[in-house]
Amino acid sequence: MAVNIGLKLFKRELTPAEIVKKSREDRFLAHEIIDGIFTDFVELHGDRLGGDDSSVIGGIAALNGTPVTVIVIDKGVDIHDKLSKRNGSPEPWGYRKAQRLMQQANKFHRPIVTFINTPGAFPGKTAEAQGQGEAIAQSILKSMKLTVPMIAIIYGEAGSGGALALAASDQVWMFQNATYSILSPEGFASILWKDSKRSDEAAAVMGLTPKDLLEKNVIEYIIPESRNHPRVFNLIRKRLDDEFRTLNTLTPQELLKQRRDRFRAF
């Protein structure tokens, strides 16, 4: 069955298990996305409390000449980079850095765009001791109070609260081969069937693919992927520009109501 998404017609649909596998591949890299969509990016560091999490890249950039705040979860490039960034699993100071940049964007009336690729927040002892749950909760709470437009784009995995912390936005978009779920298929299968080897079966029933989530109005748009990355980035740049222009026509009160209503509908 043909499925029309974005600007292309894809005749062969991948299975949910195949999409899960693709979502974990390094198809698009964090810095590649920043450099491909934006110009004049200036990275900002630190949460002003305890540290600077390198798995969360954030700063100010220009989108077709308009200042925006950009926040990207980075899984890393080589093995050493991935280990230092815990394969894109932020610690509390990563989320607090994101909160700081969001509040700064709100102060200076800059739209916010986040790019998400994480299996989930880092579950280590140190992260828990430093308030991982509180950091995620505060990110969601503060996002619901921002009076500037905010769009979240999932370009790989988006697992649990670790992803939702940066996706409490006006719109959520997903790359064609991305996933968005409450936990991994392996974790789902382990809990439900006590057998992590049934992860492919779990992926089929979890409703974690872009098509599933678009049909349920959990996301607003599926970004078609291509080996021609500049083409993908041009599409995103154009659509971001158009959507931010539309969202900017709303009053702060209208924007907040629309964002909150979006999540209450779930």
Q: Rounded to an integer, what distance in angstroms lies between the CA atom of residue 122 and that of residue 132?
A: 8
What sign results for the dihedral spanned by CA atoms 204, 208, 209, 213? positive
Separate counts of helices (H) and strands (E) for the chain = 12, 9
Residue 251 lies in a domain: yes
Amino acid at 2: A
Residue 87 lies in a domain: yes
Using alpha carbons, select from 69, 179, 168 the residue that is nearest to residue 113.
69
Residue 136 lies in a domain: yes
Contacts of 74 (CB under 8 A, 6+ apart): 29, 30, 31, 54, 55, 56, 57, 85, 88, 117
Structurally, the chain folds into a number of domains equal to 1
Rounded to 5 degrees, φ, ψ at 179 are: -135, 155
What sign results for the dihedral spanned by CA atoms 110, 85, 87, 182? negative
Q: What is the CATH number of the domain that holds 79?
A: 3.90.226.10
Number of C-beta neighbours around residue 205 at 10 A:
12
Q: Is 105:73 a contact under the CB 8 Å cutoff?
A: no
In the DSSP assignment, the letter for residue 50 is: S
Residue 1 lies in a domain: no
Q: Is 174:223 a contact under the CB 8 Å cutoff?
A: yes
pLDDT at 13: 87
Q: Would you state the structure tokens that stand for residue 119, as one six-digit string?
A: 């299996």
pLDDT at 11: 58
Residue 2 lies in a domain: no
Amino acid at 113: V
Residue 9 lies in a domain: no
Residue carrying structure tokens 């890393």: 76
Using alpha carbons, select from 223, 209, 199 the residue that is nearest to residue 28.
223
Residue 3 lies in a domain: no
- State the 10-residue block means of pLDDT for the chain, 266 residues long: 45 90 97 98 94 96 98 96 96 97 98 97 94 96 97 97 97 98 96 95 97 97 97 98 97 97 94
- Counting Cβ atoms within 10 Å, is residue 4 exposed (0-12), middle (13-18) or buried (19+)? exposed
Q: Which residues constitute the domain of residue 32?
A: 16-260
Enclosing H/E stretch for 155: strand 150-158
Amino acid at 64: N
Residue 265 lies in a domain: no
Q: pTM above 0.85?
A: yes
pLDDT at 3: 43
The number of angstroms, rounded, from the C-alpha of 154 to the middle of its chain's C-alpha atoms is 4
